Amino acid sequence: MAPEERRTLVLETAANLFATKGFASTTIEDITDALGVSKAVFYYYWNNKREVLREIHRRAIEALDRRLEAVLASPLGPAERLAALVKHHIDVIVRHRSLVLVLLGEATAAEDTLEDRRRYTRRVQELVEAAQRAGAVDPAFDPKILSFALLGLCNSVAQWYDPDGPLSPGAVEELFARFALGGMTGGGPVQVLLDRLRETGPA
């Protein structure tokens, strides 16, 4: 196994344990035992658990940022961009569930991680505000609160989604995009927007 592949494997194992047991309750020995390797493997990459936690946070934020950048760079209109954002955000959660759970749930995050989360939320708010200016989202809603609600809705998927369950990732993304935009627009243009998004492909 290549060094970077092993690093990712150790990281993902640590994320699974942090998500289930909590950061404070997980030891380095727990991580290495789960992998069946010595502690020397862990210390080859990191000096302590805190460094692992920060890398988990960084990778989760980077995955979300890449998808947000794709949405912002797309030729889609404001409402379609919101639909695309919901789908991309949930896709990151499904693909990197443990990383995102640790990002969302770990109370001991460093200040730079917290600032990254705030920055991401502000950029989502900018998408909401653009949709409001375009008449696609009810301007009566406070865009900041609406952004919190939208992200809270998407992030909830990390708590319950089961890849072995009856819903495919695509089905969850479609359902949540329809539900979220239906609440913001009143439901009328939602299906038209989602159909248009399917025709143009993912952002």
Dump pLDDT digits (tens) for 114-147. 899 999 999 999 999 999 999 888 888 899 999 9
**Domains detected in the chain:** 1-47 (1.10.10.60), 57-200 (1.10.357.10)
Buried b (16+ CB within 10 A) or exposed e, 140-165: eeebeebbebbbebbbebbeeeeeee
For residue 69, what pLDDT is reported?
A: 95
For residue 183, what pLDDT is reported?
A: 62
For residue 147, what pLDDT is reported?
A: 94
For residue 129, what pLDDT is reported?
A: 95
For residue 180, what pLDDT is reported?
A: 76
For residue 106, what pLDDT is reported?
A: 64
For residue 195, what pLDDT is reported?
A: 54
Regions of the chain short of the pLDDT cut 70: 106-108, 183-203
What sign results for the dihedral spanned by CA atoms 123, 126, 131, 134?
negative
Q: What is the pTM of this model?
A: 0.84
